[in-house]
Amino acid sequence: MTYGLFSKFPAQPGKGDDLADFLLEAAELLERDPACIQYVVSGSDEPDVVWVFEVWTDQAAHDASSEPEDIRTLIQRAMPLIAGTPEQTQLVIHGGKGLPS
């Protein structure tokens, strides 16, 4: 079952762009992971908030994705920029446009 996640990351005041850069770096690292179908980083008119829409082949692949050393290091570096627990919506992807067929 294709697994999705929509996350709202609160950033420390004035650190929204820096946090977005880290999450874009994570997206680049995930280019190598075929189980990661999408990792889309966005902003909004809400300052110091970064949104990430993810699609994975399944939840286990997502859960395992933070294990590699370089990703763990990146998460550690980003932690000081995050201002609280992200709000997350877990999704069951039905389909649509823009997903690999």
Alpha carbon distances (Å) from 41 to 1, 51, 92: 23, 6, 19
Rule CB under 8 A: is residue 74 a binding residue for its own copies?
no
Q: Is 67 in the site for its own copies (CB under 8 A)?
A: no
Distance between terminal CA atoms of the chain? 14
* Contact residue for its own copies among 12, 35, 40, 59 (CB under 8 A): 40
Tell me which of 13, 76, 79, 97 binds its own copies, using CB under 8 A: 97
**What amino acid is encoded at 40 in this protein?**
V
| CB closer to its own copies out of 40 and 61 | 40
